[in-house]
Structure 1
C-alpha cells in the first residue's frame, strides 16, 4: 500500500501506515503525578503521567540548527524543503559512530516485498551506525494480529514498532510490562549523548510515556490533519470547475460529475473527510468534549451522526466508486487514471501520485482542497497527537543492546540536510539514487530496497522534502498550514492515556458499524442504539473515569466549554 519512494514525512493513519508528520510544541500540563489515581482497583499502568514526574521523565530538548527549511513550520505543520544538496555539501550530524557492533532484532510493519537480508541499503545503514539489524518485517495489513501474538509470547524481539492505532485490547498493558524503561538513558540531560534524539520535540516524548516510564522512541507527527480530500486540479480546470466549499456543494458537484455509464465516478469513500467537515471529535483517548461541566463522547454527538448520514447519502446516490464499497483496489490509482474525480487519503499520497503520473503526463496535477464546515465557512478541526508511532526496546535487552538500538535511533533521527538523512532516505549514491542538476532520483534498486524500515526507530522533527517536485512540497506544507489555522486541541491533547483494561473493547465495534452504515448495510439509527448500548455497557463508567482524570490533570484543551 505504501509507495516505496515515500519520504520521512510519510506516516500513518489508523489501519494504514500513512500519515504525514509535523509537530506543534506542547505545553506540559500541570497537576499532581497521576497513574493509578483513576481506576480504583485498576492496574498501576492506567491513566497518565503529569506534573513534576512528567517533567523529570522528559529528555532535555535541544533543537537542531543543521539546516533552515525553505518553508518554516507554522500552525502545527511540517517544515518544507524544496531543494536537495549534492553529497559534498551535506553536513554531518553524527560525527562519531555510536554503535558498538552489536546485533539485534527489530519487528516492524512493511507493505510490499521484503528486501533480501544483506542488501546494499541495509548493509550501508548498519555499517554507518555501527550495528547489525536482523529485520523481522510483517505485512502491514495484518500487523496488529502479529503484534498481539508476539506480545503475548515470551519471544519478544529486541525492538518492536507499535503504531498508535494498534493500542487496543491488552497491547497498552503489554507495552508497560514488556518493554524497557529508557529514562536512565534519555531523561533530562542524559539524552545529550544522542543529539538527534535530543532534537525531537518535547510533545512527541510526552506521548512516549507508558505506565509512568519513558518507554517509546517516537516518530513526531504534524498536529494538522493528515487525511486530505484530493481532487484532479488539471481536470477541474479543464472543465471550468472549482473545488467545493460546503457539504451541499460537494454533493451537487458529485451529481454533476458522476457518469457510471462511462465508468467514471464522482468520488471514493469520503468518510474520513466527513469527520473534519462536520467537526467530529477525534478517536480515543481524545474523543471527549466538555459541555456544561459534563463530558460528552464522540459517539454521542450530533456531528458524528450527521457525518455518517452525509457519507451514506454519497453512497446511496451512486456517487462512490464500487471498489470503495467493496473495499478493494486503490481509489487513488483510479483518480490518477481519471476514473474518479475526488477521494480522500493520507496527505503523502499527493507526492506518490504526482511522482508516478508526471513521468508520462507532465500536465498531471492533483491537489487537496481545504476543509470547510458542513454549511460553509471555517471548519472545526482537531489537532492530531504529536506522535503516534513508536519503537520499544525489550526489557530483556542488555545494556549494550539498548545502547546500540539508541545509537541507530540517533542515526535515523538525523535532520534533513545531513549525510545520515540522505543515506537513510535515498540509500547509496550511484547504487540506489543519482543526483543530477539538483535533482535526487531513485533508480529501480532504490525503489525496491530503500523504503520504510529504519525511520521507525526514531525520526526528526517532521518535514516534507520532495526536491524532485518542489511544487508538491510547497502545496503539501501550505495546505497543512491553512488547515492548522482552524485546528484546536481536544481535551487531553498530547497525553498518553491508558484506559483501564475493563474498557479496552468498549469501542471495538464502532469502526465496522460506521462502514456498514455509510455503505447502506445498516441505518444511522443502529449507531444511535450502539451509542446507547455503549453507555449502559460501561461508557458512563468510563466517562466518570475520564472526568476524574480531567479534574486531576486540569487538561482542558481548546475544546472545553
Structure 2
C-alpha cells in the first residue's frame, strides 16, 4: 500500500498501552454499552469505508524520517528496534522551530492512575516546547466509555478528544463523523510536509484514520504482527530442562509435566489468545478482521473450524488442571497474576509483547535470577503457524468540528512534537519529562522517579505517535528479542480482506457479537460447550449475520481486498 506499510508500524496497541501503564488487569475488555444518543441531528453517519483511489486523494504524503537510524531496522512488519544507550548530549532535534502560535487547546483523554495537577512541570514544559497552552481533561480510563458517550451527546466538546479503538462501539463511529473536523485540508497530500513528524507516520495508520470519507484522526501507529506473546520463565525452563513446545500436543504434554498443584506450581494462564494464533483462527480484536474470503466466499471467524478447535484445545488445558486457579474466574478476576508469575506459581503467560519487558524490569532488582522470554507461536500440528494481521493503528485523537483554523493548527503542532522519533529531544521530553525533575540518567538509561511516574503518564503520548518503536536501553537483549520475535512471526502473518480499513458497521448490526467473548470464556472453562458456540453462530446468522455478510461483500466489491 505504501513504501512503509510493511516496514514501520506500531506504538502501543490496546493491550500494550494498558500493560505499560501497569493497569492492564483493571481495563474493561470487550464491547461497551450503546450510547443512547451520540450524534444528535448532525451525526451525519456514513456506513462503510474509504479506500483505493478515494483514499489516495485524502491520505497524507509519506516522507520517511532520517533524523535517527534504528539499531534494528523493521522487517516483516516489525517495530523499529533501539538497543543502544542514550547520549542525552547527542539527541537530535526533529522540530527545529515551534509551530504552535500560543493558543489554548483543551484535550480530553483516558487516564489510568491519579491525574497530576494541571500546572505540573511536565505539562508546562511540554507546552513551552510546543508553543501551545494545552489544558488536559483527564478522565478515568476504566469508565471512559461512559464519559465519552456523555460528552459526544452534548454540544460542548473539548478541542481534541482521544478515542481508543476499543471505545468505538455502539454509535460512537457515527458521532465521530458528525462531531469532528476534516483534517484533510491541513494534512492530505503534500500539505502534511509542514509537519515532518506527521509525514513520517506510516500510510497504513493514516488509512485507519479515515472516518466517513474524511481524514478525521491523528493515529497511534501499531505493528500489524499479532501482539500476544506466549512468554515463559526461561530461568526455570533452563533449570528444569523443559523444552519449548512446537505443537499443541507438545504444549499440553509439557504443561502436565510442569504442573504440581500440591507444590503450588501450575503450567500456564489462560492461553486462549495463543490458541487462536496457533490454530490460525481469524482475529477477534476488531469486527472487520473477523471476516475473510475463503474459497471464494466471505466467512466470519464464528463459522470456521479453526475458531472452534482453538476453544476446544484451551478447554483441554483447563480440564487437565494445568491452568493456574486464578484464571478460572476469567475476565472478572480480581487478582493481578504478575506476582504469582514472578513467584513461579505458573510458568507460561500469554500477554501483550510489552509484558516481556514489563516483567523483566519489575523483577530486575528483587529477583535477579528471573528471566522471561517469548515462545515462537507454533502451528497446532507442529508446522508453521498461520497468523492474521492486526490493525496498524488503534488509538486516535480527533479535533472538534467547531475548532477554528488556529486551534486546528495548534493541535497539529502538538501532534508533530508527540510523533517525534526515538532518539530526539522531543521524544525524550514527551516520554520522560524534565531531566532532574522527572528522571535521571544512569549509564545511558533514563530512570523515572516518583514524580516522573505520576506526571509523565497517559497524556501527550496519546495525541499521536511515531512509527512503531521498541527501545529498552536498560535491557537491550529484551528489545532485540521482542523485535526479532515480531520479525519471525511477521514472516507467517497474512492480511485479511479488510486489513487496515476503518469500517463503520450499520448500527443495526453492532450488537450481534456482544456476548461472544463471555461465551468463549465460559466454553474454555467448561461452563458451556462447543455446541453452544455453534448455536450462537446459527442465531447470529439468522439475526443479521448473513445480511451483514452481504453488506461486507458490497464493501469488498467496491474497494477490493487488502489481503496479500
Q: TM-score, normalised by structure 2?
A: 0.91
Taking the aligned partners of 1:497 and 1:19, their CA distance within structure 2 comes to 28
1:318 to 300, 318, 321: 321
CA distance in structure 2 between the partners assigned to 1:332 and 1:272 by the alignment = 18
Q: 1: distance between equivalents of 2:154 and 2:316?
A: 45
The Cα offsets for residues 244-289 of structure 1, whole Å up to 9 and x where unpaired, read as 1111111111111112222222111111111101111013102122
Matches within 5 A, 1:152-191: 152-191=153-192
Shift of 1:131: 1.5
The answer on whether the counterparts of 2:110 and 2:140 sit within 8 Å (CA) in structure 1 is yes
Distance 2:296 2:533 in 1: 25
Name whichever of 520-529 and 135-144 sits farther off.
135-144
Q: Which moved more, 1:48-57 or 1:221-230?
A: 48-57
Which of 460, 468, 473 is matched with 2:466 structurally? 460
State how far apart, in whole Å, the 2-side matches of 1:211 and 1:239 are.
56
Shift of 1:431: 1.2
Stretch moving more, 518-527 or 236-245: 518-527
Of 297, 305, 308 in structure 1, the residue corresponding to residue 300 of structure 2 is 297
Say whether 1:333 aligns with 2:339: yes
Do 2:183 and 2:215's aligned partners in 1 also have CA atoms closer than 8 Å? Answer: yes
Would you say the 8 A contact 1:16–1:141 is kept in 2? Answer: no
Question: Equivalents in 1 of 2:335, 2:82: separation in Å?
Answer: 32
* Kept after mapping to 1: 8 A contact 2:282/2:289: yes
CA distance in structure 2 between the aligned counterparts of 1:101 and 1:556, rounded to whole angstroms: 42
* Number of the residue aligned with 1:28: none
The residue number in structure 1 matching 2:442 is: 436
Q: Distance in 2 between matches of 1:427 and 1:475?
A: 27
Q: Contact 1:13/1:346 (CA < 8 Å) preserved in 2?
A: no
2:5 corresponds to: none
User: Contact between 2:44 and 2:177, CA under 8 Å: does it hold in 1?
Assistant: no
Secondary structure of 1:126's match? Answer: helix
**RMSD of aligned alpha carbons:** 1.9
2:230 alignment counterpart: 229
What's 2:500 paired with? 494
| Structure 1 residue 18: Cα displacement | 4.8
**Are positions 1:75 and 2:76 aligned together?**
yes
Distance in structure 1 (CA, Å) of the matches to 2:55 and 2:445:
44
Q: How does 1:42-57 map to 2 (within 5 A)?
A: 45-57=46-58
Alpha carbons 2:179, 2:400 under 8 Å: kept = yes
Match of 2:393 in 1: 387
What is the CA–CA distance in structure 2 between the aligned matches of 1:178 and 1:15, rounded to whole Å? 29
- Structure 2 distance, partners of 1:509, 1:398, is 42
2:531 to 506, 525, 531: 525
* Corresponding position of 1:259: 260
Range moving further from structure 2, 512-521 or 483-492: 512-521
How far does the alpha carbon of each residue in 1:335-361 deviate from its partner, in whole angstroms, 9 at most, with x for none? 122111111111001111111101223
Distance 2:182 2:19 in 1: 28
> What number of residue pairs does the alignment pair up?
530
Q: CA deviation at 1:328?
A: 2.2
Equivalents in 1 of 2:529, 2:281: separation in Å?
19
Counterpart for residue 412 of structure 2: 406
Contact 2:100-2:414 at 8 Å conserved across structures: yes
Structure 2 CA distance, aligned partners of 1:193 and 1:556?
30
Using the TM superposition, name which of 131-140 and 482-491 deviates more.
131-140
Alpha-carbon distance in 2 for matches of 1:463, 1:16: 13
Contact 1:464–1:473 at 8 Å: present in 2 too? yes
Q: CA deviation at 1:201?
A: 1.0
Corresponding residue of 1:120: 121
CA contact (8 A) 2:16 2:355 kept: no
The answer to whether 1:509 aligns with 2:526 is no
What is aligned with 2:32? none
5+ residue gaps, structure 1, are 1-7, 21-41
SS of residue in 1 equivalent to 2:14: coil
TM-score (norm 1): 0.91
Measured at CA, do residues 297 and 494 of structure 1 come closer, stay the same or move farther in structure 2, by a change above 3 Å?
A: same
Alpha-carbon distance in structure 1 between the residues aligned to 2:197 and 2:528:
50
Contact 1:13 1:226 in 2 (8 A): no
Shift of 1:220: 0.7
Shift of the 308–13 alpha-carbon distance from structure 1 to 2, 3 Å rule, reads farther
